[in-house]
Amino acid sequence: MKTSPTASSPKRAIAVNFSAVQFRQRNVITKVAQALSDSGLAPALLEIELTESAIMCSGSDTTEILNNPRRLGIRLAIDDFGTGYSSLQHLRRFPIDKLKIDRSLIADLPNDDNASTIARAMIMRGRSLGLEVVAEGVENQSQWDFLRNLECSSFQDYYQTPAVDAESFEALLRTQPPRG
């Protein structure tokens, strides 16, 4: 698992990517609750990221499975949004807090009209459902300016800092002042 800091987040949260296999384990929420207890991290500062395909492969009890971490106060995000099913029905039905637009849909911004139209539609879709929207793969100021003008909540990736392993992340946290 890798963690990635996200720009413009109001609090320092930890986002952890879960595979479909990890998320389907019967005791995964027990393990997460124990890790929260051991670390002292408030559940509201943990975000579990699942890909669209992981959610779709979870079967008919997906909503119940997704509600388990929510009961602990953990936030849920759909990662790599736009590369899988992208169904409004699923966005409406599942207890999700955040959409993370896949980097492949951000790469050609702001100069490609088709990419711009897709990004605009995805941001509007997420915002209309009351979700935080994060753009993955932002690599320069012009991309971020374009997305910010569309009221994208925040961005993630190489423009701010690349994904890092746990030890590097700890060092990064120690060297950066907290944001209010």
Q: d(Cα 88, Cα 125) in Å, to the nearest integer? A: 8
The pTM score is 0.73
pLDDT digits (tens, 9 = 90+) for 111-144: 999 999 999 999 998 999 899 999 999 999 999 9
Q: Cite the beta strand spans of the chain per DSSP E.
A: 14-17, 46-51, 75-81, 98-101, 132-136, 154-156
**pLDDT, tens only, 145-164:** 999 999 998 988 777 777 78
Rounded average pLDDT over 75-92: 76
The gap from C-alpha 15 to its chain's centroid, in whole angstroms, comes to: 7
* Contacts of 74 by beta carbon, 8 Å cutoff, 6+ apart: 32, 43, 44, 46, 47, 48
Q: Which domains does the chain have, with CATH numbers?
A: 14-174 (3.20.20.450)
Residue 85: what pLDDT?
62
